Amino acid sequence: MSSSSTPKVPGTYVFDAAESRRGQALNRLCGSLKHAENRAKFKADEAAYCDAYGLTAEQRDAVLHRDWNRMMELGGSIFYVFKLAMVDQKSMQYLGGVFTGMTTEEFAQALKAGGRSFG
C-alpha cells in the first residue's frame, strides 16, 4: 500500500483561526464557573463579570438571558456552556434534558431519583 498525503479530515473542513477564536472570551467565562468562588462573583453581578471577560455585546446578552442556542452560535463550546448552566438548577435541568431527550421535569425527577450530581 502506498502512503497518501491526503489529510484525514472531511473535504468540507476548513481551519479558520479567526473563527476558532470567536468564542474564546465566552468559553473562558463559562469555564471559570467551575470554581465556587467565581460562581459567587458571577451571581453577585453577572453583567460586571461578563464585562471583565471582554465578551462582545451579543455574547454578553446571550449569557445574561441564558440563550443557549445563541451562545453556541457565537462560538461557545457545549462543554463550557454547560458550566454556565450549572450555576442555577433550572438552566442545568433544561440543558440536561436537551442532552438526554427528556423534558425538564423528567430530567429533574431522574436527578432526584439518584441521577448524577452536577456542579
Three cell numbers, residue 30: 463559562
Contact 48, 63 (CB under 8 A): no
Q: pLDDT tens across 57-101, in order?
A: 999 999 999 888 888 889 988 888 888 888 877 776 666 666 667
pLDDT tens digits, residue range 28-66? 999 999 899 999 999 999 999 999 999 999 999 999 998
CA angle 103, 35, 100 (to 5 degrees): 20
- Hey, which bits of 22-119 come out as E strands? none
Whether the CB-CB separation of 102 and 75 falls below 8 Å is answered with no
Q: Supply the pLDDT for residue 51.
A: 95
User: Is residue 64 within 8 Å of 51, Cβ to Cβ?
Assistant: no
